[in-house]
Amino acid sequence: MANLINHIKGTEDILPDETGRQRFIESSLAEIAKVYGFKEIRTPVFEYTELFQRGVGETTDVVQKEMYTFDDKGGRSVTLRPEGTAGAVRAYLEHGLFNKPLPEKIFYILNCYRYEKPQAGRMREFQQFGVEMFGSEKPSADAEIISLANEVFSFFGIKGIELRLNSIGCPECRKKYHEALKTYFENYRSELCATCLDRLDKNPMRILDCKSPVCKEICKGAPVILDYLCDDCRNHFDEVKKYLDKLGIKYTVDPEIVRGLDYYTRTVFEFVSTDIGAQGTVCGGGRYDGLVEELGGQKTPALGFGLGLVRLKKVMENQGIQLPEDDTCELYIAPLDESVSAEAMRIACDLRSAGIFTQVDVSGRSLKSQMKYADKIGAKYTAVLGNDELESGKLKVKNMNTGNVTELEIDDFEDHFMRLCLNEAAEGLSDNPIGDFNLDKLINGLKG
C-alpha cells in the first residue's frame, strides 16, 4: 500500500458519525441568533492582508505571529481569515448595509485559521460562531449581546460557565492609562520578553495579554484600567451591569480582561469554563466603536462576540452532555433479486421525495446479507420486495423494534407508510417518535 497522506497538524476531520451532532450545534446557534433578530452573513475565507492589519491591529499576536499570509499569483498579499469581525465590517461598508435601518444585526458560522501550537481546545483551523451589531451605542445593546451568548450555554445545558466583565474605556481614557502603564513597565524593561518590549512603545495594553510567566507576574502589579475611566465610560459600564443584574445574568468584574485584538473599546467580556484546561475562554467579545471608522466608514458604534465551536463541544463532552445523533434510516427496502431492483428503487425514490429517510440495496447482496446490513444501520422498518409482492400489489413492512408486520398497498406506498408510522408512534409501538421525520412534509403528505 502506498504511503498515506495524513491531515495537517492542527486540523481535524469531522466524520460521518459526528456530522449530525455538529449540524445540530450549528443549526441551534443559528436559531438562537435569529430569535434575537440577527441575520446570517457569509464572507470569503481569505481577504487582503491589510484588512486584518488595520482591523485586528498590527501589535496583536494574531497579526504578528499567527496569520496564514501569502502572495497570490497577482502579487497581492492575502490572508486566511483569523477571525470573523474584520470581514463582517468590510462587507458592512462595501455593500452599504449602513443604509438599512439600524441597528444592523448579523451572525456567522465560519472556519478561521491561526498558526499556533495545537492543544486541547485550540486548533489551527477552527469553527467560530459570531454575532455583530452595528449602530447602537447604548448599554442595552451590550446587555443584549451578552444575553445572547448566555442563552447559548443555557440552551445546551452547560454548567459552570463564568462571565467575566471589564471596561477598557474609550481612546481618551486609554491615553492616560497608556501613560500609566508605560511608567510602570519601564521599571521592568530588563525583565520583559522581546515581544513586550516592542509593545511597550506601541501599545502597552498588549503586555497585559502576554502569556509569558515572567510578564504575567509583572502584570499583577500594573495599574488597573477601571481607575482611569472617564465619566461617560464609567456610566456606560455601570449601566451595562444594571442590565445584566435585571436579566439575572451573574458576572464577575475582572480588570485583567483586555482581549487580544486592538479594536475593542469600553465593554469587553469572556465566558470562561474550567472544564477545558488552560484554554478556558469559550466565548469572548465586546465593543469596537472605532473599527468601522478605521476601515474607511463613518464613525459607528458596534459590538459583538466570537464563540469557538471546538471549545464549546469540548465543554459539552467533558460535562457528559448528549447531543442528538444524525437521523436513522426509517425504511430499508430489500429486493429479492435483480428483476425487482428497479421497482424497489422507484418506491424508495417516492419515499425520499416525501422526506422519508429510505435505503435500498445497490450492492447485489443476498436477502440474508441485506437484513444484516439493515440491522447494522439501525433501520426502523424493513420491507422485502419480490415478484409475489408485485403481483399482489402489497408490501409487508416490519417494525424492527416490535416485530409487528403490516401489509400496505404498493400504490401510493409513501402515503400508506407515513400513516403507519404516525399510528404506531401514537400507540407507543415504536421507540422513535414521529418527530424524527420531517414533520411538515409528513403532514402535507397526509393531507394530500
Beta bridge partners of 194: none
Q: Where are the alpha helices (DSSP H) in 187-223?
A: 194-202, 213-219
* pTM attached to this predicted model: 0.85
pLDDT tens digits, 420-432: 988 887 776 555 4
**Beta strands across the sheet bearing 358-360:** 358-360, 331-335, 381-385, 394-399, 405-409
pLDDT tens digits, 399-420: 998 999 999 999 999 999 988 9
Q: Where are the alpha helices (DSSP H) in 73-212?
A: 85-94, 139-155, 171-186, 194-202
Mean pLDDT, rounded, for 21-42: 96
Domains for the chain: give ranges and CATH numbers: 16-170+230-318 (3.30.930.10), 331-447 (3.40.50.800)
Tell me how crowded residue 262 is: count the other CB atoms within 10 A of its CB.
Answer: 23
- Cα 125 to chain center, whole Å? 13
How many angstroms separate the CA atoms of 426 and 143, rounded? 44
pLDDT at 381 over 60: yes
Mean pLDDT, rounded, for 95-108: 96
C-alpha cell at 104: 444592523
Q: What three-state secondary structure class fits 345? A: helix
> 408-432: string of b/e by CB count within 10 Å (b at 16+)?
bebeebbbbbbebbeebbeeeebeb
The pLDDT value given to residue 78 = 95
Per-residue pLDDT band for 445 (boundaries 50, 70, 90) equals very low
Per-residue pLDDT band for 288 (boundaries 50, 70, 90) equals very high
Considering only CA atoms, which of 280, 282, 277 is closest in space to residue 309?
A: 282
How many angstroms separate the CA atoms of 168 and 166, rounded? 7
What does the radius of gyration of the chain's CA atoms come to, in whole angstroms? Answer: 28
Q: Are 25 and 33 contacting, i.e. CB atoms less than 8 angstroms apart?
A: no
